[in-house]
Amino acid sequence: MKIDVQYTDTYQSPLGGITLSSDGECLTGLWFDGQKYFGSLLTGEEERKTLPVLELTKKWLDVYFSGREPDFMPPLRVKDSAFRMEVWEILRQIPYGQVATYGEIAAAVAKKQGLPSMSAQAAGGAVGHNPISILIPCHRVVGRNGSLTGYAGGIEKKRKLLELEGRTGLQTV
């Protein structure tokens, strides 16, 4: 689903450039430059502008990339299917420095929907389309054996984000 009014700004992180988007009030997108699904909600009619919400997001990123857990959250607004939004809400509940598996995410969604089970691949598809990387922590989702699998920003960025949060020794499949 596309958003109507879009303002963008950039942030230079230790892992590369990041593009931020806002509807004027809330953060609506955050992508590593060039990542898979980059700018998936942008229509091309964007205006580069410094807004309070984007400045607050940059402060959040400054704290995060300094190796500390931010104690505040910019207002977020995501619009997509009910299923994806449910998965993204579950992602927001994964604590800083912790990980969950795709299977655990699928089980949580199935339980909320009153279903006996759900495919980890279905949950993984929704995780991969998360439009607000890092703040909605899709990098904290790992394979069933704790391995690093799938990340729209690239596995090496996923590893570095998890290491920044104190998680080490995770294996790539």
Q: Which residues are the active-site residues?
A: 138
β-bridge pairing 6-13 and 16-22: antiparallel
29 near 42, Cβ under 8 Å? yes
Instruction: State both tokens at 163.
Output: 């290491």
Contacts of 40 (CB under 8 A, 6+ apart): 29, 31, 129, 131
138 near 128, Cβ under 8 Å? yes
